[in-house]
Structure 1
C-alpha cells in the first residue's frame, strides 16, 4: 500500500521500505518518527488530510545535499564578482510502516522540522498585568 505525505513544503509518494531525503527534521539517527499529514492512502483521498492515517519511518542519518554554486558578476566598468555556495541540510529516512488508521495510538513521536518552534509544556506563559494595574504601579 502506498501513501502521499506532506513534509517540508513538499509531497512524497511512499510505501514501506522506501528511502527518502526530506528537509531536516529534529531527530537523531536511529529514532522513529511519524508523519501525520497524509494526503492519500491507497485509494482513500483526504479532504485535505486522511483522518487517523500515518506513515512511520526510521531516521538513517542527517546529511547535506550537493553544493549549489551561484556566480554573480557586475557588468561594465565594475570589476566585482562573487561566488557563493550552499548545501541544504537533509534527513535520510527509511519508511517502515503505512497505517490507514490508529495514528494516535502508536506512541511514536511526530516528525517536526528542525526550524519549527515547538512550545514546551514545562514553560508556563507569563501572565500580563491588566493595563489599569500597570499604569498605577
Structure 2
C-alpha cells in the first residue's frame, strides 16, 4: 500500500519502511508523528482525494533533525560596480522512517500530528498575543510623557530666540 502525502509545500509518494527527508518539523528524534494531509491512497483500490482523502493518514518515526547539502549562491555584476558576493545555505530537514500507511481510521489515532516549524511559531505567537491585550494600556501611559516633551520644545525654542 502506498500514499501520496503533502508536507512543507511538497508531495511525497511513500510506503511503509521508506526513509524521507522533509522540511523541518517541530519534533525531536524518537517521536512518532502522523501526516493527515493525504492526497491519494493506493493498493488494492486507488482512492484519490478531493483534495484530501478523509480519514487517511501516514505514521512515521523521527530519526533525526539534519541539515541538507550546502548550496552556494554566487552573484557577480559585470563591468560597472564590479562587485561579487558568495553566500552558502544549508536547509534544515527532518529525517523520517514511515511506519504505517492507513487508508482509514487516521483521525481516531492518538499519534501527534506533524506540524512544521512555521506552524509551531505561528501557534506560539497566537498564544503570546493573549497577554499582549494589556499592551494598549501601557501604550497610552507612554504617550502622555511624549506629549509633555513636545510641549517643552517650543519653550526651549523661545529661549534660544531671545538669547540671539
Structure 1 length-normalised TM: 0.86
- Does the alignment pair 1:74 with 2:77? yes
Counterpart CA distance in 1 for 2:62 and 2:56 is: 20
Q: Return the structure number with greater relative CO, CA threshold 8 A, min gap 6.
A: 1
Q: Which runs of 5+ in 1 are unaligned?
A: 129-137
Looking at structure 1, the residues matched to 80 and 125 of structure 2 have their Cα atoms a distance apart, in angstroms, of 55
For residue 14 of structure 1, what is the aligned residue in structure 2? Answer: 14
Structure 2: runs of 5 or more not aligned: 134-164
Match for residue 112 of structure 1 among 101, 112, 115: 115
* Structure showing greater Rg: 2
CA distance in structure 2 between the aligned counterparts of 1:14 and 1:46, rounded to whole angstroms: 16
Q: Runs of 4+ in structure 1 displaced over 4 angstroms?
A: 119-126
Cα 1:90–1:118, aligned 2, differ >3 Å: closer, same or farther? same
Q: Aligned Cα RMSD in Å?
A: 2.2
TM-score (norm 2): 0.72
Distance 1:124 1:83, change over 3 A: closer
